[in-house]
Copies of this chain bind each other. A is one copy, B any other.
Amino acid sequence: MTLTHVPAPTNTRLDRLLAPTSIAVVGASASSGKLGSVMLDAITRGSDGSVSAYGVNPKSSGDDGLFGSLRDAADTHGTPIDLAVLCIPASATPAALRDAADSGVGAALICSGGFAEAGPDGIALQNELAQIVADTGIRLLGPNTSGFFRPGSTTVSFVPTVEHITTGTVAVVAASGGMNHALSFLLSEHGVGVGLGVGLGNSVDVTNVDVLDYLRDDPSITAIALHVESVDDGRALLAAVRNITTHKPVVAIVVGRSDVSAFSESHTGALATSWKTTRALLAEAGAVVVDTEQQLVDALAVLSHTRLPASAAPGVGLVTAQAGPALMILDELLAQDVQVPTLTEATQAGLSELLPPLTFQANPVDTGRPGASFGAVLSTTAADAAIDALAVYALAEPDALDLADAVRASGVHTRVPVVLGIGGPGEAVGKTGAAAAALGVPVLPSPTALATGVGALVHDARSRFLRTTDTAPTAPTVAPAIALPADEATAKDLLDALGIGTPPRRVCADRPAAHQALAELPLPVAVKILDSAVLHKTEIGGVHLGIRSADELDVALDALDAINAPAYLVESMAPSGVDLFLGARRDPVFGPIVVAGLGGTAAEAIGDVAIRSADVTRTAAAAMLDDLQCAPLLDGWRGGPVLRRDEFAHLAVTVARYLADHPAISDIEINPLRLTPTGLTALDAVIVPTPARGNAVEGEKP
């Protein structure tokens, strides 16, 4: 068998999949009701005339309007078919896929299940498909998906109601066909139109990475809804998200908070990735990560219309016609860490001339009752130097206030992004929504939805700032590779070389050396077993604290001798403070990552840890601990020390980069990393070598 065509550049090939001008349904049948017929009908009915559709069935007599082969269809069409939709049993798909490639078809879609999600036979079948893709260069969507659609122009889905999806500029990139449809319908029903909806299914070939790369340059798309069930190549996904979010916002929802692995495996054949890591790294890469489909809709209602410039902390002005909703919105914005800055005295003076006395004018600006001055209140608030965007809420009271018209007349939407929230009956809200949409101003239906949408606007701007702005990068520390396995002293010498503070210490081969150390080091000291084979020193009685006298030292050394300590580490104890941990690890999906949180077991049990990639910028690393619920502990809790974020960022970036540069190391754990009044000190450090087998961590791809 010879290859019949040379693979074209990637984007061209995805064009033949996602923007085909000719589609053939293999397995179409003259009898309606069968999947192939339903699909052919849907394609024909859902296309705007730019797509030629053909039915192919080897058993065709020719009288039924079907073609006997893809080549016959291509002959009639004049050029090879762009997309073949294979509506045939799983077992027949490999032969049909190879025939399609041989016939010059650019891409194929396989809807049927029975592949990797269905046990060993299915896995073998799926591997066959992968081999054909590798052999021929044909692009393949699926198997195990209901397809894709571009509402208004191209439908390749057997779900007939797709034709009711409103055309718009959001692309849905979903792990499954079902969620592609569920999200597209939700967006559409909430007035957010869809430009493209793709369900990836088993992703033998085309993955979310391919689609994201393709969408970057698709001019019909302004924003992306990304639904993630599992991640195959984490680094490629993060690169794709970083790449596209430079141009277009991505809102992501990740499945897997709970342990759903048994069912998940039956669904796609893939184990769920770590939910927490996936969410943290997607957010670092630039996606706005949400918890629910409704939040996804609310975020895209805003981000498909407008974006803020990259900014560390955009300020939101909140203007309302009713105080109760204002309180809900403010509560939610603050919970999302959105700045609602107090307006300047000059702005407040301006507002006081527009509003009745006793209304709150500092931000939120509550107008008490909506009136004729509403537009001027918006303009005055937006003109404040601290305000980068406006959130506006009012109940629909057509006689008292035309919200869209107040925006239009004030022109405020031409100066800052404006997001409206309206409560009221569907008709009144719809009317305002349509008028606002004409101005490019999004409208949301509840106080919390408004806060969610505005929060998305802010987080999208903030994540671009964090990942592209770096605070004064210091010269890279040239640190030596170290001998492995490393004991605590070696690990701490490395930290010293990396510019990370450690306590004064002595490695002592014998008792006289230990007593000498006691005499020379600031007291009290800790005395520990020094043995690279021991990872958990405390558990075996290998750590003795608070030693100030020779007697106490001898008691400790007796105890260490009893557990056969090969050497002693005598070390000055740090002042008390807040104990953190900082680790650099190799994630099996995403590669080198950096993880930090409160020391001790609690943070881990609670899951209160902050995670970033080893590529994290210093600016983003400085902000990462603000993710933590325990963040108040780092800012002078009960008179305690305050964490200098830039000092922490230096540590985090340094250990992460060192790990990334040294494949022989799988883990660097500093625990505890003590926050003291004079800064951060590494009280213990463990360096774990990568298991021998080819330097690859178990589960990690080469």
Binding site for B on A (CB under 8 A): 113-114, 117-119, 122, 159-161, 164-165, 174-182, 185-186, 188-189, 199, 227, 229, 255-260, 262-264, 266-267, 292-294, 321-328, 330-335, 358, 360, 362, 364, 366, 368, 395-399, 423-429, 445-449, 551, 598, 600-603, 605-608, 629-630, 632-633, 637-638
Contacts of A366 in B (CB 8 A): 266-267
A395 to B: closest C-beta gap in Å: 5
Shortest Cβ distance from A298 into B: residue: B294
Contacts of A182 in B (CB 8 A): 322, 324-325, 328, 395, 423, 446-447
- Please determine whether A603 and B601 come into contact, CB atoms closer than 8 angstroms: no
- Please determine whether B396 and A601 come into contact, CB atoms closer than 8 angstroms: no
Contacts of A551 in B (CB 8 A): 551
Max chain B Cβ within 10 angstroms of own Cβ: one of A188, A364, A447, A605: A605
A467 to B: closest C-beta gap in Å: 26
- Please determine whether B260 and A179 come into contact, CB atoms closer than 8 angstroms: no
- Cα A696 to Cα B600 in complex, Å, equals 39
- Please determine whether A178 and B358 come into contact, CB atoms closer than 8 angstroms: no
A536 to B: closest C-beta gap in Å: 11
Q: Can you add 12 more A-B contacts, CB < 8 Å, to A164-B427, A177-B324?
A: A161-B425, A164-B425, A175-B324, A178-B322, A178-B395, A182-B395, A186-B445, A259-B334, A260-B331, A260-B334, A263-B323, A600-B600
- Cα A294 to Cα B358 in complex, Å, equals 32
- Residue from B179, B448, B637 within 8 A of A325 (CB atoms): B179
- Residue from B360, B424, B605 within 8 A of A637 (CB atoms): B605
- Please determine whether B448 and A335 come into contact, CB atoms closer than 8 angstroms: no
A420 to B: closest C-beta gap in Å: 14
- Residue from B328, B358, B397 within 8 A of A118 (CB atoms): B358
Contacts of A255 in B (CB 8 A): 327-328, 331
Max chain B Cβ within 10 angstroms of own Cβ: one of A256, A263, A368, A428: A263
- Please determine whether B331 and A267 come into contact, CB atoms closer than 8 angstroms: no
The complex is assembled from copies of this chain, and their number is 2
Max chain B Cβ within 10 angstroms of own Cβ: one of A114, A119, A160: A160
- Please determine whether B331 and A258 come into contact, CB atoms closer than 8 angstroms: yes
Contacts of A260 in B (CB 8 A): 327, 330-331, 334
- Residue from B113, B175, B602 within 8 A of A633 (CB atoms): B602
A690 to B: closest C-beta gap in Å: 24
- Please determine whether B334 and A258 come into contact, CB atoms closer than 8 angstroms: yes
Show 14 A/B contacts (Cβ-Cβ < 8 Å), sorted by A.
Answer: A114-B358, A159-B395, A160-B399, A177-B322, A178-B324, A179-B447, A185-B424, A258-B330, A260-B327, A266-B360, A267-B324, A294-B448, A601-B637, A602-B633
- Cα A606 to Cα B578 in complex, Å, equals 14
- Cα A676 to Cα B397 in complex, Å, equals 63
- Please determine whether B601 and A602 come into contact, CB atoms closer than 8 angstroms: no
- Cα A602 to Cα B293 in complex, Å, equals 33
- Please determine whether B189 and A263 come into contact, CB atoms closer than 8 angstroms: no
Contacts of A164 in B (CB 8 A): 424-428
A267 to B: closest C-beta gap in Å: 4
- Please determine whether B446 and A638 come into contact, CB atoms closer than 8 angstroms: no
On whether A257 and B360 interact (CB within 8 A), knowing A165-B425, A176-B323, A446-B294, the answer reads: no
- Residue from B176, B360, B397, B445 within 8 A of A160 (CB atoms): B397
- Please determine whether B328 and A179 come into contact, CB atoms closer than 8 angstroms: yes
- Cα A328 to Cα B296 in complex, Å, equals 14
- Please determine whether B603 and A602 come into contact, CB atoms closer than 8 angstroms: yes
Contacts of A227 in B (CB 8 A): 324
Which 6 residue pairs spanning A and B have beta carbons closest together?
A176-B324, A178-B322, A164-B425, A258-B334, A178-B324, A179-B324
- Please determine whether B161 and A396 come into contact, CB atoms closer than 8 angstroms: yes
Contacts of A600 in B (CB 8 A): 600, 602
- Cα A19 to Cα B426 in complex, Å, equals 27
- Cα A161 to Cα B428 in complex, Å, equals 8
A679 to B: closest C-beta gap in Å: 20
On whether A395 and B364 interact (CB within 8 A), knowing A445-B189, A448-B294, the answer reads: no
A514 to B: closest C-beta gap in Å: 20
- Please determine whether B424 and A258 come into contact, CB atoms closer than 8 angstroms: no
Contacts of A229 in B (CB 8 A): 324, 327
- Cα A186 to Cα B449 in complex, Å, equals 11
A665 to B: closest C-beta gap in Å: 24
A518 to B: closest C-beta gap in Å: 17
- Please determine whether B176 and A322 come into contact, CB atoms closer than 8 angstroms: yes
Shortest Cβ distance from A177 into B: residue: B324
Contacts of A330 in B (CB 8 A): 258, 260, 263
- Please determine whether B259 and A360 come into contact, CB atoms closer than 8 angstroms: no
Contacts of A423 in B (CB 8 A): 181-182, 185-186
- Please determine whether B334 and A425 come into contact, CB atoms closer than 8 angstroms: no
- Cα A630 to Cα B446 in complex, Å, equals 33
Contacts of A630 in B (CB 8 A): 602, 605-606
On whether A323 and B267 interact (CB within 8 A), knowing A185-B424, A602-B602, A630-B605, the answer reads: yes
Shortest Cβ distance from A578 into B: residue: B601
Contacts of A176 in B (CB 8 A): 322-324, 327
Contacts of A324 in B (CB 8 A): 174-180, 182, 199, 227, 229, 267
A606 to B: closest C-beta gap in Å: 4
- Cα A262 to Cα B199 in complex, Å, equals 47
- Cα A397 to Cα B181 in complex, Å, equals 11
Contacts of A189 in B (CB 8 A): 425-426, 429, 445
- Please determine whether B606 and A395 come into contact, CB atoms closer than 8 angstroms: no
Shortest Cβ distance from A394 into B: residue: B178
- Cα A178 to Cα B630 in complex, Å, equals 35
Max chain B Cβ within 10 angstroms of own Cβ: one of A122, A445, A449: A445
Contacts of A199 in B (CB 8 A): 324
Shortest Cβ distance from A174 into B: residue: B324
- Cα A454 to Cα B364 in complex, Å, equals 36
Shortest Cβ distance from A358 into B: residue: B118
A145 to B: closest C-beta gap in Å: 9
- Please determine whether A397 and B159 come into contact, CB atoms closer than 8 angstroms: yes
A248 to B: closest C-beta gap in Å: 24
- Please determine whether A446 and B186 come into contact, CB atoms closer than 8 angstroms: yes
